[in-house]
Amino acid sequence: MSNPFYKRVLLKLSGEALMGEKGYGIDPDTVNYMATEVKKAYDLGIEIAVVIGGGNIFRGVEAAEQGIERATADYMGMLATVINALALQNALEKIGVNTRVQSAIEMRELAEPYIRRKAMRHLEKGRVVIFAAGTGNPYFTTDTAAALRAIEIGANVILKGTKVDGIYSSDPVKDPKAKKFDTLSYMDVIRNSLKVMDSTAITLCMDNNLPIVVFNIRNKDSLKKIVLGEKIGSIVLREVKDDAGVQEES
């Protein structure tokens, strides 16, 4: 296969994905690896947007539990995503990928303000657009930001890069009997409280029929293979086919 299966994708990366084996912060080698994986897909001629979390630097929910007012803690977390976005931008630019960072919180010296039509124009011109600062609102996760931005720009799919190779019934690191799901419906995810994305993000995707592919970003070429249509990881769809045919969501 040489023709991309998807034309426009949104890649969701957690902040933790950038810290590698470190317990905190940004690992330069890991960021460079992520940039290389993005470039492999980019070189196929597809349009790529990225939403990145900030959990490697600051987690708003955890800070709120420790006494910081929740809205303030969430804004601090948004600033952490900007740091990660700039790190990824730097790594991509070094290997010849044109990028733009757009922030939901205005900071003109560092990034463009988020403007939907401008973001789409950047994608059409072959630039990778990195969306920073989440939605710009407290109480919303970067998963929700990924779903929102993907829908706004007309992405064909959300590709969620994680540390595991798909969606499991429980944590496969802690539970050796955890079952991996190749295909799930949105309602399966919600009913079983599976840790794919938060419920707001899943509902947004369900309402707009936007597929979600969960895969291990640490496996080389996995992003490229998914873009080419290979079945890697787990996919969340409106309908799930089994031996008896198609089962639609209730």
Q: Which CATH architecture has domain 8-248?
A: 3-Layer(aba) Sandwich (3.40)
Q: What is the mean pLDDT of residues 193-203?
A: 93
pLDDT given for residue 245 in this prediction: 39
Give pLDDT, residue 242.
54
Q: Are 129 and 122 in contact (CB under 8 A)?
A: yes
The more confident residue out of 212 and 242 is 212
Mean pLDDT for 1-23 is 89
CA-based torsion, 71, 76, 80, 83: positive or negative: positive
Residue 195 CA to residue 153 CA, distance in Å, equals 25
CA angle 217, 222, 227 (to 5 degrees): 115
Is the sign of the CA dihedral 110, 114, 118, 124 positive or negative? positive
Is the confidence at residue 1, as pLDDT, over 70? no
What is the CA 178 to chain-centroid distance, rounded? 23
Q: Is the confidence at residue 249, as pLDDT, over 90?
A: no
Tell me the pLDDT tens digit for each residue of 139-151.
999 999 999 999 9
Question: Is the model's pLDDT at 123 over the cut of 60?
Answer: yes
The helix (H) or strand (E) run that includes residue 91 is: helix 70-94
CB 75 within 8 A of CB 103: no
Q: What is the mean pLDDT of residues 218-237?
A: 96
Residue 70 has a pLDDT of 92
Per domain, the residue ranges of the chain are 8-248
Interatomic CA distance for residues 161 and 169, integer angstroms:
18
Rounded to an integer, the average pLDDT of 157-178 is: 91
